[in-house]
Structure 1
Amino acid sequence: MTPVLRTTQGVTLIGGGAVTADDAAVALARAPVVMAADGGAAKALALGLTPRAVAGDMDSLPDAARTAIPPDRLHRIAEQDSTDFEKCLTRVAAPFVIGIGFAGDRTDHLLAALNVLVRVRVPPCLLLAGADVILAAPPRLALDLAPGTRLSLFPMGRVTGASRGLRWPLDGLALDSAGRVGTSNEAAGPVVLELTGPCLVILPRAHLDAALAGLGLGGGGLGRGGLSAP
Structure 2
Amino acid sequence: MSTLPWIEKYRPKKVDDISYQDEIVAILKKTIKSESGEFPNFLFYGPPGTGKTSTILAAARELFGPELMKTRVLELNSSDERGINVIREKVKTFAQFTPSGHRSDGKPCPPFKIVILDEADSMTSSAQAALRRTMEKESKTTRFCLICNYVSRIIEPITSRCSKFRFKPLSKEILIKRLEYICKEEKVDCDQDALATLVTCSEGDLRKAITYLQCASRLKSVCIKSSDILEIAGV
TM-score surpassing 0.5?
no
Instruction: Give the structure with higher Rg (CA).
Output: 2
Name the structure, 1 or 2, with higher relative contact order (CA <8 Å, separation 6+).
2
Structure with bigger helix share is: 2
Structure with bigger strand share is: 1
